[in-house]
Amino acid sequence: MSLVKKIKSRERLTQKEAEALYDIDLFTLGELADEIRQDKFGKKSYFNINRHINPTNVCADICKFCAYSASRKNPNQYTMSHEQILEIATNAIEKGAKELHIVSAHNPNDGVEWYMGAFRKIKEKFPDIHIKSMTGAEVDFLHRQYGLSYDEVLDLMIESGVDSMPGGGAEIFDEEVREYLCKGKVTSSQWLEIHEKWHNRGKESNATMLFGHIESRANRIDHMIRLRDLQDKTGGFNAFIPLVYQKENNFLKNCNFPSGQEILKTYAISRIVLDNIPNIKAYWATSTINLALIAQEFGANDLDGTIQKEAIQSAAGAKSANGIELDEFISLIKSSGFTPVERDSLYNELRVYE
């Protein structure tokens, strides 16, 4: 059976078949991905009103792609107090944020309580806010630094008020590329193990893939298939988020920066290959808002959110430092021909903007 027929009859693709998708022309691939997207979501495009908070940039790990960490290049170290984090959370919630997306560097100085206490403080004041926090890499860091098991860290997160885990730290699973990019950080199998344990607690999470640096197309497909395999077991992933590598202020040189076509193909392929992960997120902070809007026609059904402030990708050149205004976001989605739908963090619909 031809590859196109196989996709149209929704058959699962192998690694080699999925690699071959990159050889299909962009528009055919886009149509195939769009058919699957439209079956599931029609013209609806999802977003949430969220606030990213990055409480510290002090990091014990060294990832070549990172421009945010203060370990080497960035002389401006900072670590927020719980009071500062709570003040930001309060402002964001007063402005309508329904999710706090909290991601920290791997700070070896302030203990587990600095991480967990912040969640408790926020939840004491705002019991209904959704806290999406603690990447698989942060969980592994607390395990390595403080001798806690993964189970203990995950249980502490739940006790302290974390509702779901973001998809960060996955980077690219291929062991050789990973060793070059971020040696010493959470390994691929550990990242997957942590998410499996989280899902087994009845909790949901996301999964990212950092692409457009030194990885091959085959590495991207391998990454997707490892996620698909875990999703078959647990069903706990909500969204897959291909993060386009930003190249400024870091130590990763000689990269093959992807063209717009390559980025769109990667979104479309992830929609086709990841037949068991419901949402494909075009995270506009790394793709640019313009390409994210086009990605809606190439399989993506989610655009993340208003963000408000963002420090990780913007440190490496992305134009996301100050987020995007809600009215503008809604009007951009509408004028691109889609129906904006505000969702909560677990993809329940809150408001449809007809």
Interface residues with ligand V47 (CB under 6 A) are 65-67, 103, 135, 166-169, 171, 206, 208, 210, 241, 243, 245-246, 250, 283, 286, 304, 312-313, 316
Sequence letter at residue 260: G
Closest approach of ligand V47 to the CB of residue 281, in Å: 6
**∠ CA 47-21-245 to the nearest 5 degrees?**
50
Report helix, strand or coil for 88: helix
Closest approach of ligand V47 to the CB of residue 177, in Å: 13
Sequence letter at residue 172: I
**Residue number of the CB atom closest to ligand V47:** 168
Q: Which residue has the tokens 């909500």?
A: 238
Closest approach of ligand V47 to the CB of residue 22, in Å: 21
Q: Which residues are CB-neighbours of 87 under 8 A, at least 6 positions away?
A: none
**∠ CA 152-154-158 to the nearest 5 degrees?**
115
Closer of 32 and 210 to ligand V47 (Cβ): 210
Closest approach of ligand V47 to the CB of residue 121, in Å: 22
Closer of 24 and 55 to ligand V47 (Cβ): 55
Exposed / middle / buried, residue 133 (Cβ in 10 Å: 0-12, 13-18, 19+): buried
Provide the pairing of β-strand 44-48 with 50-53.
unpaired
Helix locations, the chain, DSSP H? 3-8, 15-20, 26-41, 82-94, 111-125, 136-146, 150-160, 175-182, 188-200, 217-234, 260-273, 284-287, 289-295, 312-315, 326-335
Helix locations, 201-300, DSSP H? 217-234, 260-273, 284-287, 289-295
Closer of 160 and 164 to ligand V47 (Cβ): 164
Closest approach of ligand V47 to the CB of residue 168, in Å: 3
Closer of 88 and 316 to ligand V47 (Cβ): 316
Closest approach of ligand V47 to the CB of residue 341, in Å: 16
Side-chain-side CA neighbours of residue 180 (13 Å): 12
Closest approach of ligand V47 to the CB of residue 175, in Å: 17
